[in-house]
Amino acid sequence: MRTSTFLVTGANRGLGRETAKQLAERGHRVLLGIRDATKGAETETAMRDAGLDAHFVSLDTGDAASIERAAGDIGKRFGALDGLINNAAIHYDTWQRVGAPDFAIAEEAFSVNTLGPWRASVALLPLLRQSPAGRIVNVSSMSGQLSSMNGETPAYCLSKIALNGLTLMLANELRGDGILVNAVCPGWVATDMGGGGRPIPEGAQGIVWAATLPQDGPTGGFFRDGKPIDW
């Protein structure tokens, strides 16, 4: 039986690590996209010691060259890729207002939170197209909902709005390839970035759900806990 392979970005902590863990516990191979080599090795060792099929891949989603190198590495080592979970994100800038921003923070947020998933999706498309059930999951946020927008947390919110737009565009572009593309809001989760809320495993469950949808599953949607939510 063929083993499905999933790449999770930002997999050394929080939602990324838990998502990778839950996928591996289901019997899938997980590729741990992590920027820091030491943290990558530590995360791989911890998961493999737990009997999970986990492999560190050096990947900085804010660096276009790193993304291209990672795509080449994955192709050589594993061949086809069945799922890409674009989880890595930075700058939950609650101290900012849209009328008084630090544009350097905004540029960094867009580089990692929007351009990173875009670049990764494009770089890995040849491998996803080789899968019989390719999936792209963009980990978004309620902060990216147009229906609840205000002037707070502008860098993070705008980068997530753009990520949601990317989700719709990719879903339409790749519909003919059978690649399902969806955005997932994990809810307010008790991560280092989120600072409180629901347990991390609960937030990760909706991401895993979207990554393992059946072939007739939805595409081009925004979901929380497997249920559609407003853009």
Residues with active-site annotation: 156
Burial of 63 (0-12, 13-18, 19+ CB in 10 A): middle
User: Which amino acid, residue 220?
Assistant: G
Distances (CA, A) of 223 to 16, 61, 153, 209: 17, 23, 21, 10
C-alpha to C-alpha distance for 29 and 7, rounded to whole angstroms: 9
**What is the three-class DSSP state of 180?**
strand
Place of tokens 């949808």: 213
Nearest residue to 110 (alpha-carbon basis) of 160, 182, 146: 160
